[in-house]
Structures are given as structure tokens and as C-alpha cells.
Structure 1
Amino acid sequence: MQSWADLFIEQLKATTLLEWFAVILGVAEVLLARANKVWLYPTGIAATLISIYLLWIAALYAECLLNGYYVVMSVYGWYHWVKKRNEPEVKVTFTTRKERVVTLLIVFAGWGILYLLLAHYTPSTVPVWDAWVSSTAWAGMWLLARRKVENWLLLNLSNLFAIPLLFHKHLAMFSVLTLILFIVAIFGYYDWRRIAKFGKA
């Protein structure tokens, strides 16, 4: 246990200013998401662009691809959330049966495709793990963009596996950030579930 603590402290000391900045923006993004505020998207886009650079250096290629997907889905989600002319704001709702099927397809097809790409076309040392974290997060982001309650469940499934993966890759602060996101997402799920059921948090 002491060796893990020493390793964490060592990684913490080696954390760059850029990583700290990405972490702060990431915390702000998830707090805004929990509060159901559209500002989560521009904040998240800034954090994500920095993260892509840092994850590429750490050779987490699927995570880089995932973050590129985050940028695209954030733009889509930002547009989807904004009130359109003569149309009401998109409400927080539970997933339909069709959306659950699409979610499962994103998770498992994404996992398989990413694994094959990582295993055969990159020097990744963790292709299965990296692909799983990314595919579950892909599905969660798709649901978040559509303002579905279950987005928190998929994002936390991804977070659960991402925490040790990031620590393994010596990204201590990203690992801590993901732990914070995991905890906040639990509350976010219950907040959004109340909104979907009763129309208020």
C-alpha cells in the first residue's frame, strides 16, 4: 500500500501545468452537467482539446480518439440543447427501447473495432482496456447529447475502468479527475432522474 502511495505522490509532483488546467476545466464541466447547464459544452471542449495532446503523449490512442469524439458530440450536444426558434428546449428523459439498442451497439461494436485498430495499427500496450473505456464513454456521450438520464450510468462504467488505466499510464491527476467525475456522476444520475420524473431537480 505504501508503494502505491509513493507512486501517486511521485506522479503528482510530475504533473504539468497543462494537466492541472485540463483537470480544473474537467471538474467544471461535470459540475455544469450535473446542474443541467449548457455551459458544460464550451468548458468541456476546452478541456478535451488539451486532453487529446496529453493522452497522445501517454500513448492512449483510443482515449485520444474518444476525446476527438467528445469534441464532435459536444458541438452536437450544444446545438441540441439550445432552444430552437419556435421550439421548446429539449427535456431530460429516460431512454427508449430503440435508444437502448443503439447504446449497446455503440458499446460493443465500438469496443471490437477499437480493439482491432489498437492491436494491429498502434503500439498500444493496453488495447482491450483502452478500447472498453472509450466505447462505453462514446455511448454515454451520445446519451448525454440527447439529454437522457442513463448517460450517467454509461459514463460511470467508463470512469470505473478509466481510473486504474490512467494511473497505470502515470496520469495521476487525470485519474483523480476521473474519480471526482465518478462521484459527481452518481449525484448527477439521481438529479436527472428526478427531473425526468417530476420536471424539477
Structure 2
Amino acid sequence: MDYFKSLEIVGLIAGLCYLFLIIWENIWCWLFGIIGSLVTVFLYFHAKLYLESILNIYYVLAGVYGWYYWKEKSKKEALSVSEWENNKHVVLIAISIVLSIGTGFLMKKYTDSPHPFIDATMAIFSLSATVLEARKILSAWIYWFFINGVSIWLQVDRGLNLYSILSIFYTIMSIMGYLQWKKSYNLQSN
């Protein structure tokens, strides 16, 4: 088995552990997220998905932030699932679209990325969804549903077949994550 396939398997296992643990709101999710993201940095760079590679550096940092935020918040009070008002989402989506277009133009001009605008859009919206997730905003799962769905095609296109299977699973599990966090949110609201 070649080196990159071995890394893809490690990333796949870490990603699955992360997913299940975050759905169940377990702080250990962040450790597996950090490990999976470190592996993915190298895989995506090798596949010429440069922004996805940089995005995974961000995921490593977000994992540290998520761990810290969940740990510190739980010392003071129970960190609970919350939801944003629609106007906040409109602003976040508008900013993400503008940043995606600008980043896509930069990627097209300065890299050999085969899909600069898709790569840029995936990276920017993933940044947004990760912040929502670290803050336990329920609708983060809706963002992830769409992001993971598009990732399937992008990963197949770049020959990352195991990761595309993981993204299929992530897309499906985004629904489960949403339902589980919705249950927590409803319990807190009563």
C-alpha cells in the first residue's frame, strides 16, 4: 500500500471518530479532529487541493480552539446547543460568498488548482461552519450537509476515493448530527 493511501486510511478513521464524538457532544472529538486534519493537510496538498489543505491547517487550530472553548465553558456552565437568528446566517452566507469569489480568482491566477472556485467556496464555507460548530450553533449541521455533499464530487475528481466515501458518510451523518443536537437544544429550551 502506498504512503498516501495509508494516510488516507488514518485520516478516515480519525474523521469517523471525530464525527461520532461531536454528534454526541463529547469533548474528545477535538483530538480526533486535530489528528485527522493534520493527515489531511498532506493528502490535499499532494492532490493539488491547496485551499482544502490550508483549510485543514485551520481545522487543526479550530480543534485546539474547540477543545479549549468547550472545556472552559463547561467549567462555568453547561455548554449548550444554541441557534442563530436568520439575519445572522444571511450575513454569514453573504460574506462567505464574497470571500469565495475573491479567493477563487486568486487561486485561479496563482495556482494550478483544477477547480479554484469550488476549492475556494468549500474552504470559505467550511471556515464558517467550523466556527458555528465550535460554538455549538445547531445550524452548523445544515452547512456541513451541503459542504460534505459537494466534497464528494471534488474528492472523486482528485482521486481521493476513500475520502469521498467518508464525505458520503459525513453528508448522511450531518442529518443525524442535526437531529441529535436539535434534541439537546429542545431539552434545554424547556
TM-score w.r.t. length of structure 2: 0.91
What is residue 49 of structure 1 aligned with on the other side? 38
Distance in 1 between the 2:135 and 2:176 partners? 19
**Equivalent position of 1:33 in the other structure:** 22
Deviation, 1:14, is 9.6
Output the amino acid matched with 1:175. S
- Runs of 5+ in structure 2 lacking a partner? none
Richer in helix (by share): 2
Identity of aligned residues (%): 28
Supply the AA of the counterpart residue of 1:34: I
Q: Tell me, in whole angstroms, the C-alpha distance in 2 between the residues paired with 1:65 and 1:109.
A: 19
What does residue 129 of structure 1 align with?
118
Checking the alignment, whether the CA contact within 8 Å between 1:136 and 1:157 is kept in structure 2 is no
Structure 1 residue runs without a partner (length 5+): 1-11
CA RMSD of aligned residues (A): 2.2
Q: TM-score, normalised by structure 1?
A: 0.86
Aligned partner of 1:24 in structure 2 is 13
Could you tell me which residue of structure 1 aligns to residue 132 of structure 2?
143
Aligned equivalents of 1:57 and 1:13: distance in 2? 13
The C-alpha deviation readout for 1:40-98, integer Å capped at 9, x for no partner, is: 10110000000000100000011012111211222111111114586113211111356
Of residues 97-106 and 24-33 in structure 1, the stretch that sits farther from structure 2 once superposed is: 97-106
Take 2:75 and 2:180, find their aligned partners in 1: how far apart are those partners?
A: 28
Query: How has the CA–CA distance of structure 1 residues 123 and 34 changed in structure 2, closer, same or farther, with 3 Å as cutoff?
Result: same
Kindly indicate whether residue 93 of structure 2 is the aligned counterpart of residue 104 of structure 1.
yes
Q: Say which SS state the counterpart of residue 192 (structure 1) adopts.
A: helix
Residue 199 of structure 1 corresponds to which residue in structure 2?
A: 188
Question: How many residue pairs get matched?
Answer: 189
